[in-house]
Every structure is written in structure tokens, then in C-alpha cells.
Amino acid sequence: MDLFSHSWLPLMYQYGFGLLIFGGGLFTVFRAYGGNQFWKEHKIWMQVLVWGFIYIFSIHLFMTLSALNDAPKMYLLILALYVLNVGILVRNVK
């Protein structure tokens, strides 16, 4: 059973277009707020934004790998990622 169009193709499409939209947004904000000045004032927010992208992508990636390899234990990895995410946000976003 060919699952490419049900697994990797939508993943690549979503995060390909997603990266364009996200990267374009980040670049626009960076420029609009004055570049380095923005980085100085809002460094932590930028880091959280990039982290959020990696985090959501990782969840989809692990879910896909888990389904294709019949590896339900990969959900423990997703759970660990979720806990790490909560920790990072609670500690850093103030």
C-alpha cells in the first residue's frame, strides 16, 4: 500500500508552505521593528516563535514515523516533548 501521498507528501507540503509563511512573517516583523533593536528587546519571543515551529513539526514527524513503523512508543517521545515545551514556556515567556 503506497502511503506516500498520505504521509510524507502532506508533511512536506504543510511545512514547506508553512516555512514560507512563517519565515516571511518573522522577516517582516524583524524589519518593521528595526532589526537589531528588535532582537535586543524581543530575543526571547523570537526564540519561542522558532521553538514553536520546531515543536509542532516534531509532533507531526513523530506521529508519522510512529504510524508507518507501528511504533506506539514514539508517543512517549511526543509526551516528553510536550512536557519540555511547557517547561520552556513557563520559565522563559514573561
Partner 1 sequence: MNTLIPTTGLFWGILTCYVFFVLGAGLFFARNNKSTEDFFFGGRRFSWWLIAMSMLATGVGSHSFAKYASKGFEYGFSSTMTYMNDWFFMPLLLFGWIPIIYYMKVNSIPEYFQRRFNSTVRNLSTFTMLLYLVGYIGIGLLALGSLLQPILGWEINTIIIVVAVISGIYVSLGGQTAIIFTDFLQGIILLFAGLLIFGLGIAYLGGFDSFWNNLSIANKLPLADFNSPPDFNFAGIFWQDGVVGSVGFAFMNQAVIMRFLAARSVVHARRATIMNVLVFLPIGTIAVSNSGWVARAIANTSPDVIAETTNPNGIFTVVAGIVSGSEAIFAFLVAAVVAALMSSLDSQINASAAVAVNDIYTPLSKNPSEKTRLRVSMFTSLLVTFIGIQAAFLFSKYGTIYEAHGAFHSVVTPPMVTVIFLGIFWKRFSSRAAVLTFILGGIFILLGIEYPKTFVQPFSHGIEFVEEKPWSYIRALYNVFACVSIGIIVTLFTKPPKNYDKIKGLTIWTIKDGPQYFKGSDVNKNAGITIQFSGAEVEVTQKDNNEVSLPKNYMDKIKGNKGDLIYISDHRWYLGGLKSTHARLGSVSDNNKVIISKDVSDHAQFNLSEDLIVELEV
Residues in contact with partner 1 by the rule CB under 8 A: 1, 3, 5-7, 9-11, 13-14, 17-18, 21-22, 25-26, 28-29, 32-34, 42, 45, 48-49, 52-53, 55-56, 59-60, 63-64, 66-68, 70, 72, 82, 85-86, 89, 93-94
What b-and-e string marks burial along 39-61, b requiring 16 or more CB atoms within 10 Å of the CB?
eeeeeeeeeeeeeeeebeeeeeb
For the CB of residue 60, give the shortest distance to partner 1 in the complex, in Å: 5
For the CB of residue 28, give the shortest distance to partner 1 in the complex, in Å: 6
- Secondary structure of residue 33 in the 3-state scheme: coil
In this structure, the number of other CB atoms found within 10 A of the CB of residue 81 comes to 15
